[in-house]
Amino acid sequence: MSKSIKKAAKTSMLFLIFLSFFAAMATLAYLGIHSKTKAAATNCYWVGDTSPAVWNDATHWSSSAGGAGSTCDSGTVPG
């Protein structure tokens, strides 16, 4: 094979590798954006004292009205 044919083949191969890489990255990005699962809706109820109301205290959030604190959404603060 002549040098020009070898150079053209090498250039074509590098271009295909480059194109394949970016096609794979675009596919992964698309799947990452469009395959996220949404969390199930959770109803949380404020329990306990309201003075002072510390809204980010998980012990005041319950999964049922009048229930025990820290039971809403595995003990996480809603919001």
Q: pLDDT, tens digit, for every residue of 60-70?
A: 888 888 888 77
pTM summary value: 0.44
- Does the pLDDT value for residue 76 go beyond 80? no
| More confident call, 17 vs 55 | 17
Could you tell me the residue ranges of all domains in the chain? Answer: 1-36, 38-79
C-alpha to C-alpha distance for 69 and 35, rounded to whole angstroms: 33
So what's the pLDDT on residue 26?
93
Distance CA 77, CA 29 (A): 30
Two tokens, residue 8: 């053209």
Phi, psi at 10, each rounded to 5°? -65, -40
